[in-house]
Structures are given as structure tokens and as C-alpha cells.
Amino acid sequence: MMMLSGQPSALLLAAALLLLPAAVSAGLDPIRLIFVAFILGTGALSLRRPRPAAPAPRQVRPSRAAVIEDLRHAAAASAQATKLSFDGPPASARTERPASTLLKRRRRWEISADHLGRLTVLSHSPPLHACGGFLRPEECAQLIGTAARVLVRSTVYGHALDASRTSRSCLLARTRPECRAALEKVLALSGALPEQVEDPQVTCYTRGQRYEPHCDGPELHDPQGQSFLQCGGQRLLTVLIYLNAVPRGGRTRFSQLGVEVAPEQGKAIVFAPAFLDGEIDAALVHEALPAEDEKWVCQFWIRQRPDTTGVFMHNPDAQ
């Protein structure tokens, strides 16, 4: 029985039994005495039982909105800590990586995916592509015929004459019928707006003429290039089209990439001479090797932003 399992109840019952003869002689009811001992023993036993632990407080689950808000704060804090940008990895990591890795991570102008299958990769990093048959032979001949009547001594960035460039060239107005097919193909390839595209430049190299190693745009901090950059910013994409086949000489050399391209009529080479932030990519410095046979090329350049001055659309120097 429960009353016998606890030490206090057993002692009280034993005491009641010892006092039972005296209680009877004193005229007390023995049954009542045993009942009182039982009640007292049960109460003492209940006092010794451990009380059950209080239930743990119920945890309130945060709402979905609260969780999302916490994630937003965490993401914002992470972005602020790493300061990621399109120009490369966090500044804290740049000292731990070679320059070539940084150049790979910086963003360039991207070619339309619809045309990637037609392009031959000449270099993966930095990207350099070739596209055979970009222009048809008759389209090439029309550009040569139009430009041949208006050629002048070639300039650098449209300004000063330079001994590094000995060819003759001209700008053709994009409104000319001869330029329409080429311009439409350049726009489709690049995805650029017409206002971002310079008027095409046609250049002729005769025997011994060349263009020494150069970039297709000025350095951002070059004082001589500031007026050039005011009209649409830096050149971000070059489309160089060979208008005739050149059996001897006249190759385009990318010395840092170990690549030389032989002129083939209608072939185009496509590359990004600068990053999207306008900084020149020195790995794409190139040169036109001296020609032994006459060489004709047509160049289109895509600028950083649409020209708001009207120079590209209404260039007074374009023929």
C-alpha cells in the first residue's frame, strides 16, 4: 500500500498501534485513531513527492515576412562587406590574384548569342573571334569603290597625323547605300543602338604601309583623348572587316596573344578593346603588319553610350 511505502506514514502507524491499548483504556475509538494516522501518513508522503517541472514556455515561430526581412538584412550586410563590382573581385582579394585573373573577371561587351555559332574563336581570354563571309564580295567591292575616291592620310582617333600610321583612309556616311548592309550586320552582331556606332572607316594600305602596335581607343586619363571620349565615351567593340584578300603581308597581329590573322575577303574579326568601365585592355594591343600587296579594311566601332552631340549621325567628316 502507498501509506507503507513512505517512512513518515510507517512511523505514524507504528505509533498508533503502540498507543492503541492506552487509547482503548481511555475510552477513545481505536478505529478513529487508526484513520487519523492513515491521513497524516498520506499527507506526509505527498509532501515528499517531487513536484512536476513547469512546462517549458512555448516558442513562437517567426512569421514568413520576418524571416524574409532578416535574410534581406543579411544579404545587404554581406554585399556591403564584400563590395562586389563588375570590375573584378573584392579589393581585399585583388592582391592575392595575378593580373591575368583580374582581367578575366572584368566585364566586356557581349556578342549576340545568335551569332556566336558563326564565329571562330581565335582567343578565349581575352575573347577574339573571326567570322568568315561577314560581307559578300559585291558588298566589299562597293565599299572599296566608294572609298577610293575620297581617301586621305590616316589619322589617330580622328585627329593628329602620326608616323605610326602610314595608310590612307576615309569615313563614309552611314546613310550611303553602300554602308547599309554592313551597318545592319554590325548592329545585329553587337546588339548596339545605331547611335552608339561610329561612321565606318575604310582604310587602304599599299606596299610597305603599316599601323604600329596600338589600342583602338585612348587611355581614360590621356589629355589628348578627352575630346574623343566626349562623343559617346570609349570604344568597347571593334568589328574589323577585310575587303579583299591579301596574298602577301598585311596580317593583323595580336602579339600578346600570339595570334596573326590573314586578310580574306569578307572576313571580320571581332574583339573588345576596352572593358565596360572604359579602361583599355592592354592584352588586345594589335598592329597591321606591312603590306606587300594592296590591302583594304573597313572598321566599325561601338561606343560606351549613344552619342548625344549628333557627331555619329551627322559627321561632317564623313563622305
Q: What are the tens digits of pLDDT across the range 248-305?
A: 999 999 999 999 999 999 999 999 999 999 999 999 999 999 999 999 999 999 999 9
CA 22 to mean position of chain CA atoms: 103
| Range with the poorest average pLDDT among 3-7, 54-58, 224-228 | 3-7
User: Closest by alpha carbon to 247, among 295, 188, 214?
Assistant: 295
- Asked whether the predicted pLDDT for residue 155 surpasses 90, the reply is no
The whole-angstrom distance between residue 289's C-alpha and the CA centroid of its chain comes to 35
Specify the higher pLDDT residue, 318 or 140. Answer: 140
Cell numbers at 21, concatenated: 491499548
Q: Mean per-residue pLDDT for 201-212? A: 94
* Distance from the first to the final alpha carbon of the chain: 119
3-class secondary-structure state, position 144: helix
Asked whether 200 and 239 are in contact (CB, 8 A), the reply is: no
Question: Which residues, other chains included, contact 87 with Cβ-Cβ below 8 Å and sequence gap of 6+?
Answer: 106, 107, 275, 277
Q: What is the pLDDT of residues 88-114, one digit of tens each?
A: 333 333 333 344 434 445 899 988 767
Structural contact between residues 236 and 109, judged by C-beta atoms closer than 8 angstroms:
yes
Whole-number pLDDT of residue 35: 63
* Least confident window among 95-109, 160-174, 209-223: 95-109
Q: Is 226 helix (H, G, I), strand (E, B) or coil?
A: helix
Residue 16's pLDDT band, with cuts at 50, 70 and 90, is low
Q: Which residue has the higher pLDDT, 212 or 105?
A: 212
CA atoms of 274 and 290, how far apart (whole Å): 25
60-69, 99-108, 133-142 — which is least confidently predicted? 60-69
| Residues recorded for the chain | 319
Q: Are 206 and 294 in contact (CB under 8 A)?
A: yes
pLDDT of residue 143: 98
pTM greater than 0.95 (yes/no):
no
